């Protein structure tokens, strides 16, 4: 048994200020906080609006328990000079700042690059916005759903052409915001490495502000595989394919006898041989035109029909057993109920129980990525608005008790 003492989390000792709202910037800081960074969330006295999103319990959002975890909440009126001063003193003792105002919004609050450079030389500043800090559309309003549409995702998640007149469905979560948040995490970590002289691009004595510019639209587009390259070279506009994969077959969702759907991904020559043996269709495996992926793509309708005819004979649970035994990549399509009970998620702590002061015991998603020797931790659930204002202003910003009391009296902090 490994008896080495557990190392501190990977980002222990890093302090990051979040001036963010809704999803993108707060998601980035949640990831960084999970990995051990100290997160100071600056929010208005009435709180981040996202606190009211999602299902409620005991008058509070359950999602906020996750979205706001591992953060310290400082409620400050940034429309007041005293509020700007207080936040500036926190920034002065921090390593990075992540924000998702519209371009120029941070400067309008009183934190342009010149001021940030004065406060904290070498600060890493990540800007997350709809279209980026430059370009003709930089000032347009946007949310993640706009990034998903412009980045090409909403087109590919549409129904296949000619199958319905329903509007193009979205993924079901705010994936555009979350992807942008992950790029903000990558940018901040790269900026910190560069600042500290850990890369060749910059020396440790260079203390200029390092800015990171993340656009929701670009974050989504970066995931779109070869769609732009295919169009540029061939004039090909990739079309929605529903449950299938456009470049491999057979891969799709197949029906079960009890009305569930099972994903089967037999998209290699070996896996196709295994699947045809399992479903009793050796004749398909023997046909020359089905010996390659390119050939199977040409006959995908026929293959899906054969697989569906077999899958409809079994309940979903039995289908999963048969496919797993044959070592074919496959799964039930999970709901939250299956996720909560999944033994693999439980074994790795990806579904874990935490105690929340407002809700009692809750299930939380775990921490990604996983560092076995120095794991992050869920140190606290999403805090109340301003829960840490006094402590942060005293410990980090250096305010005295009398100064903090005066800020409360003026309504600058909450």
Decide if 306 contacts 299 (C-beta within 8 A).
no
Q: Is the peptide bond before 223 cis (omega within 30 degrees of 0)?
A: no
C-beta atoms surrounding 184 within 10 Å: 29
Sign of the C-alpha dihedral computed for residues 119, 120, 121 and 122 taken in this order: negative
Residue 263, classed as helix, strand or coil, is strand
User: Strand runs (DSSP E) across 217-356, as ranges?
Assistant: 251-255, 261-265, 330-332, 351-356
226's CB contacts (< 8 A; 6+ apart) are none
The verdict on whether 177 is a catalytic residue reads: yes
Annotate 269-287 with b (16+ C-beta within 10 A) or e (fewer): eebbebbbebbebeebeee
Report DSSP letters for 25-65, one per residue. Answer: HHHHHHHHHHTT-EEEEEE-TT--GGGG-S-EETTEEHHHH
Four-point Cα dihedral 55, 59, 61, 64, nearest 10: -170
- Active-site residue (options: 95, 177, 304, 388): 177
C-beta atoms surrounding 342 within 10 Å: 14
State both tokens at 235: 């004039």
Query: What single-letter DSSP state applies at residue 251?
Result: E
Annotated active-site positions, please? 177
């Amino acid at each position: 048994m490994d008896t080495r003492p557990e190392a501190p989390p990977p980002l222990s000792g890093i302090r990051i200020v979040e001036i963010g709202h809704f999803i993108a910037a707060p998601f980035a800081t949640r990831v960084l906080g999970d990995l051990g960074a100290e997160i100071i969330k600056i929010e208005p006295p009435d709180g981040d609006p996202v606190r009211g999103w999602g299902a409620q319990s005991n008058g509070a959002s359950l999602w906020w328990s996750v979205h706001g975890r591992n953060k310290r909440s400082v409620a400050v009126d940034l429309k007041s000079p005293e509020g700007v001063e207080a936040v500036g003193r926190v920034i002065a003792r921090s390593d990075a700042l992540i924000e998702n105002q519209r371009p120029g919004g941070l400067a309008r609050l009183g934190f342009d690059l010149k001021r940030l450079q004065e406060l904290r030389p070498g600060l890493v500043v990540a800007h997350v916005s709809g279209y980026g800090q430059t370009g003709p559309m930089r000032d347009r309003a946007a949310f993640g759903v706009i990034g998903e549409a412009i980045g090409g995702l909403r087109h590919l998640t549409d129904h296949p052409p000619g199958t319905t007149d329903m509007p193009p469905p979205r993924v079901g979560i705010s994936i555009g915001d979350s992807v942008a948040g992950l790029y903000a995490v990558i940018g901040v970590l790269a900026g910190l490495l560069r600042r500290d002289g850990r890369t060749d691009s910059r020396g440790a004595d260079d203390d200029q502000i390092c800015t990171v510019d993340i656009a929701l639209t670009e974050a989504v587009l970066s995931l779109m595989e070869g769609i732009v390259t295919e169009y540029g070279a061939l004039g090909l506009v990739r079309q929605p394919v529903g449950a299938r994969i456009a470049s491999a077959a057979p891969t799709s969702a197949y029906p079960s006898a009890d009305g569930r759907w099972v994903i089967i991904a037999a998209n290699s020559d070996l896996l196709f041989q295994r699947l045809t043996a399992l479903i009793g269709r050796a004749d398909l495996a023997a046909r020359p035109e089905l010996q390659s992926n390119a050939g199977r793509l040409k006959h995908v309708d026929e293959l899906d029909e054969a697989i569906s005819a077999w899958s409809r004979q079994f309940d979903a649970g039995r289908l999963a057993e048969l496919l797993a035994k044959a070592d074919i990549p496959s799964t039930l399509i999970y709901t939250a109920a299956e996720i909560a009970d999944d033994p693999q998620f439980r074994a790795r702590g990806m579904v874990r129980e935490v105690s929340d002061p407002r809700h009692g015991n809750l299930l939380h998603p775990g921490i990604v990525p996983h560092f076995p020797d120095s794991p992050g931790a869920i140190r606290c659930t999403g805090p109340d608005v301003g829960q840490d204002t006094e402590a942060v202003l005293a410990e980090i910003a250096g305010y005295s008790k009398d100064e903090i009391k005066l800020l409360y009296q003026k309504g600058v902090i909450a």
